[in-house]
Structure 1
Amino acid sequence: MHRARRESSTHFFEELMVRANVIFLIAGLTMVACSSSTSDAGDASGDAGAVDSGIDDSTNPLPGCPRDPGPEVMDFDPTSVADPIGDLSTFTMEKALAGYPKSGGVLTALITTDLGPIRCELDEAAAPMSVANFVGLARGTRPFKFSGAWRLQRFYDGLLWHRIVPGSVIVSGDPTGTGNGGPGYMLRSENRVAESLGTLATSEMVMPSGSQFHIVVGDGVPAKFNVFGKCDTATALAIAALPRTEADRPLKDVHIRRVHIARCPKK
């Protein structure tokens, strides 16, 4: 077992951008919206991020909630062929929150975007696997695959909202920015419940994506996804209203700048 060093997010996304330029110039890659893949983050590339987050790390982004001091260092084999965590069920909420102060309260995600914040309450009871996975990727406690090797770092920071459908969903969580990428693994189905305005759920085609997720910004989304939370919608609706291409990609890139996780008092 090797001790894997955390590599900076800047280095990760700069490497993604280099791959993006090469692939777009050679292949003329067409953007495909909202399809899930077991491919790792280095298999295909789009404009995945490499942006200045603009986040002041000296302040608590979720006042009144215990601040996240950062995850504990985890031992894993970055060269493993299989997922280093083993079966999906072994990545528990305890592992996802490793290093976070022991506290009660509602598990909360603050998704800061170029257009403002989206605050979500995560439903651990309804979707424990999906929530642990999202929290682990957001905090950097869940290994993901990039360029053939497993890595540990904050996964979502800098990624694009690569698909927006007014009256339906906005989608992010693809490190390639194409709709085809993922963290190198898929999830399993946990629930299939109605998705009302503000619902947070995994995106999928055949199986739930390991990293892509959507926020519902309208009605009529079919009950066929892992629902794992509920979000406020002001910023999500603003993103959904942006001009877009025929493939539902925003004409102007909109990024996730940071995803913060905390346990907060019930509102």
Structure 2
Amino acid sequence: MSAETVPQKPVLLTGASGALGRVLTRALGEQGWTLRLTDRVPFPDPLPEGARFQLADLEDGPAILRLAEGCGTILHFGGISVEHPFETVIGPNIRGLYHAYEAARRERARMIFASSNHAVGFHTRSEILDDTCSLAPDGYYGLSKAYGELMGGLYRDKHGVESVFLRIGSCFPEPTDARMLATWLSFADLSRLITRATLAPNLGPAGSVVIWAASNNSRMTWWRHDGRAVIGWAPQDSADSYAAALEGKTSGNPVVERYQGGGFTAIDYSRRDTGAA
């Protein structure tokens, strides 16, 4: 197996039992990576050769430190993955994130953080965002992702920890509504993105990059200018072939349709206006 496709050190994947964790375990395992997998629930699939799984809670700092020993990269996909009340989100997504970054600091490992478009979800769909845009989380989940990017900046500036922040759009087997014609990220493009984010020799003078993690969708007109050239990633798939079936499939909710974050923006929305222009 070529050194160009296999990291020299083991890779820790948190959230391995989740939907995207399982996709990555299969794809990276097929490439021959040495994987350390963890989640708070058992891994439901057969383990690839070279992978081992251990139950652990992200809030258990010593356990995360032990799992990361000797690892060169941490793929941090663990935590709450949809909108929930603050008290549900704060433990795994804030305290757990701190434990993951402490492990990265100790091991001098690169952090690849599964951030989200929901970190900027309250930007309107009429805006075009660069990777330097202001954070505008659309809920407590998005807030935790914005916090994660800020924590990554702290660990870069204070400890020299490299980070790749993946602002994931909508990563599903296929797009299911009109919004996803813009935001969809195929599983194959995700796997290729993780490969390049891990194997890129360096992240340039900044020490961290933001990636708009969406496939090559022609309707993706909200996001531009990110760090993909630094890591050598270009998406190969596209939602365009689904356009005829999905173009008119919208929510009918003016808040949902105004903002980039879609349905998350309308959860517990209590302003008197509807968010319309």
TM-score, reference length from structure 1: 0.27
Higher relative contact order (CA 8 A, sep 6+): 1
Structure showing greater Rg: 2
Higher strand share: 1
Higher helix share: 2
